[in-house]
Structure 1
Amino acid sequence: MKSITLLSVGVVLLSAASVMPAMAGSSGKHCDVKHHIGQWGGHDGMGERELRHLRHALDLTDEQKATLASQRDTNKAEREALHAKLSGARAALTTAVESGANDAELAVLADTLGKLQAEQVLAGLKARQAFFAILTDEQKAKMAELKTKRMERKKELKSERKETQSS
Structure 2
Amino acid sequence: MFWKWGISVVKKSVLWVTISLLILFCVISWSTYSRYKPTPPDLEVVVAKHAVEVKPVTYSLRKWGRTASADTNTDPAVLLKESRPIIVETDDKIRLLFEQSPDSVKCYLWEMDTGKLAYKGLKGYPLNLEESNVATGDYAMEIRAKWGNGYVLYNTRIIVHDDTE
Q: Given the two structures, how large is their TM-score scaled by the length of structure 2?
A: 0.27
**Higher alpha-carbon Rg:** 2
Which protein is richer in strand relative to its size? 2
